[in-house]
């Protein structure tokens, strides 16, 4: 036993006896204890133990028989470990995407988590997918007389929100996509009755009655992307970004409809659902994401809708050739992402 000091067996004798009692042979005991087979055999013999107790029933091991070659029981987990993939390239570029806030019907807890993610991610780009303002007072729908917020109130809320995002990520490029709710302003102007329609022809009126002007987007560093031609406006490599026009019933189905229209990867809002669609064909692999919403998911004007609060973080390789879109689901003011448990106040 000179190969191992006596202190080793003084510390491991009890474990060795337990292994023998469990029916392990000398090779298995040596593997468990980290000693040689000869040392384990010699020590077992010193205990006066010749074989395992008869009450122990060991499972039979099916071993291949290769002619006269002797087969031994394999040591536990004695298999080669594959070489893990290595990290290559530089830190990916990151983009935070969210939308459908519908001020004043926003969900403040979702916005609080959005702010936390922006602070942690430190994105290179931020994209608001539109419908940030609800524009309820200028919609064509019947109006609830108890609603107290007018268009100016909504504009003030949106402007304050965009200021907050800009302060959290002052170095990020920021884009505001026009949604169908913002487009209510255009429809209102185009349908001005009678002589009031002459206002729409005034150049100063046309310049003032735009969302970039009303929200002061230039002053706070947001680029405005109108709804017309939105899918052709290039913000991110290999990903179409748009508010969304396709509406289907289930999560991921609207994403599938958008993909069917364009045949490439993209992200959209509008349906207030989180979802994802994948497709692989001879043109490559594509994915389209539904970005969820940051508004109330059970408003008074819509009973028990199939909506989910959430946002998306996109990571791009530096050369833009590869990307991944990560959906962050917000439920009851909580979200789990990248090892963080976010909880809104």
Location of structure tokens 């040591």: 75
Residue 54 clears pLDDT 50, i.e. is over it: no
On the CB side of 136, CA atoms within 13 Å amount to 17
Q: In what order do the strands lie in the sheet with 284-291?
A: 240-242, 266-268, 284-291, 274-281
Residue 141 pLDDT level (bands cut at 50, 70, 90): confident
pLDDT in tens, 209-240: 999 999 999 999 999 999 999 999 999 999 99
Res 128: pLDDT: 98
Res 62: pLDDT: 52
Options 2.40.50.100, 3.40.50.920, 3.60.21.10, 3.10.20.30; CATH for 93-343 is 3.60.21.10
Rounded Cα distance between 128 and 253, Å, is: 22
Residue 45 pLDDT level (bands cut at 50, 70, 90): confident
In this structure, how many other beta carbons lie within 10 angstroms of the beta carbon of residue 101? 29
Q: At a CB cut-off of 8 Å and minimum separation 6, what does 29 contact?
A: 16, 19, 20, 40, 44
> Domain limits of the chain?
6-47, 93-343
Rounded Cα distance between 339 and 53, Å, is: 49
Res 2: pLDDT: 45
Q: Where are the alpha helices (DSSP H) in 122-229?
A: 151-168, 183-190, 203-208, 211-215
Rounded Cα distance between 208 and 177, Å, is: 18
> Taking residues 72-79, what's their average pLDDT?
67
């Amino acid at each position: 036993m000179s190969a191992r000091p006596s202190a080793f067996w003084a510390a491991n004798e009890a474990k060795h006896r337990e292994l023998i009692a469990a029916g392990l042979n000398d090779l298995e005991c040596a593997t468990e204890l980290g000693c040689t087979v000869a040392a384990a055999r010699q020590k077992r013999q010193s205990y006066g133990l010749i074989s395992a107790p008869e009450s122990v029933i060991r499972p039979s091991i099916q071993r291949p028989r290769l002619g006269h070659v002797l087969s031994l029981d394999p040591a536990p987990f004695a298999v080669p470990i594959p070489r893990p993939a290595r990290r290559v390239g530089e830190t990916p570029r990151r983009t935070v995407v969210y939308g459908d806030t519908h001020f004043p019907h926003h969900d403040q807890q979702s916005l609080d988590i959005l702010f936390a993610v922006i602070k942690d991610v430190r994105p290179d780009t931020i994209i608001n997918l539109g419908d940030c303002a609800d524009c309820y007072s200028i919609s064509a729908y019947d109006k609830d007389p108890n609603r107290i917020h007018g268009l100016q109130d909504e504009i003030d809320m949106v402007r304050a929100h965009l200021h907050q995002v800009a302060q959290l990520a002052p170095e990020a490029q920021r884009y505001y996509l026009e949604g169908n709710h913002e487009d209510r302003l255009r429809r209102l102007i185009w349908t001005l009755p009678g002589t009031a329609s002459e206002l729409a022809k005034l150049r100063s009126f046309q310049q003032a009655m735009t969302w970039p002007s009303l929200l002061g987007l230039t002053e706070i560093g947001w680029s405005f992307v109108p709804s017309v031609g939105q899918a052709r406006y290039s913000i991110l490599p290999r990903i179409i970004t748009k508010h969304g026009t396709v509406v289907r019933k289930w999560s991921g189905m609207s994403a599938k409809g958008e993909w069917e229209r364009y045949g490439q990867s993209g992200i959209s809002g509008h349906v207030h659902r989180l979802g994802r669609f994948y497709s692989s064909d001879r043109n490559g692999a594509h994915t389209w994401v539904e970005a969820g919403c940051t508004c109330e998911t059970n408003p008074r004007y819509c009973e028990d809708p199939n909506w989910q609060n959430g946002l998306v973080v996109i990571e791009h390789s530096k050369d833009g050739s590869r990307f991944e879109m990560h959906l962050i689901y917000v439920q009851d003011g909580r979200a789990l992402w990248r090892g963080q448990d976010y909880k809104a106040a």
